[in-house]
């Protein structure tokens, strides 16, 4: 039996955002770029947005108005891990770390350490998440 290549395992998909190439066809992405875009789409899609796949996505928006404390970062980490395990079968999620930006308390970096199953290639994706902190005295 022939050995599967990374291209066979990961495949190719439409680029996001959707675009047209010089020949008039749909832009495609391959390999690691395709995986990163697929993971980003999972994290940016809220469950229920896709009528034919109502469970698809991640509930990150539920955390937009929460404090950026250790409890919230732990819950975000769990949410991201669960969504990627459920919806991206080509990777093993090794770790998800959520850390606040040192200068902007409303910005959290979601650092995803993952491994491509076909090649055992360890990779990393950083997904920025913005919260809207409660500012007292605005009213």
Q: Is residue 135 in a domain?
A: no
Token pair, residue 48, equals: 């229920």
The pLDDT value recorded for residue 32 is: 76
Mean pLDDT of the chain, nearest integer? 83
Count other C-beta atoms under 10 Å from residue 109's C-beta.
Answer: 13
The pLDDT value recorded for residue 119 is: 84
Q: Is residue 1 in a domain?
A: no
Q: What residues make up the domain containing 70? A: 6-130
- Tens of pLDDT, residues 72-113: 999 999 999 999 999 999 899 999 999 988 898 889 999 999
Q: Is residue 122 in a domain?
A: yes
Give the CATH number of the domain where residue 93 resides.
3.10.450.40
Cα angle 126, 63, 96 (rounded to 5 degrees) comes to 35
Q: Is residue 137 in a domain?
A: no
The pLDDT value recorded for residue 137 is: 46
Give mean pLDDT, residues 58-77: 92
Q: Is 27 a residue whose pLDDT tops 50?
A: yes
**What is the distance between the alpha carbons of residues 66 and 44, in angstroms, rounded to a whole number?**
18
Looking at the structure of the chain, the number of domains it has is: 1
Q: Is the pTM of this model over 0.85?
A: no
Q: Is residue 136 in a domain?
A: no
The pLDDT value recorded for residue 88 is: 94
Q: Is residue 138 in a domain?
A: no
Q: Is residue 139 in a domain?
A: no
């Amino acid at each position: 039996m022939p050995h599967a290549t990374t291209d066979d395992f990961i495949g190719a998909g439409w680029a996001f955002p959707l675009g047209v190439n010089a020949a008039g066809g749909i832009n495609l992405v391959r390999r690691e770029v395709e995986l990163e875009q697929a993971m980003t789409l999972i994290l940016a899609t809220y469950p229920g947005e896709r009528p034919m796949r109502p469970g698809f996505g991640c509930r990150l928006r539920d955390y937009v108005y929460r404090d950026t404390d250790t409890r919230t970062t732990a819950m975000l980490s769990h949410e991201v891990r669960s969504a990627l395990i459920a919806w991206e079968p080509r990777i093993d999620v090794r770790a998800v770390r959520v850390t606040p930006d040192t200068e902007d308390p409303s910005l959290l970096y979601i650092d995803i350490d993952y491994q491509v199953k076909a090649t055992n290639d360890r990779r990393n994706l950083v997904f920025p998440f913005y919260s809207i902190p409660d500012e007292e005295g605005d009213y």
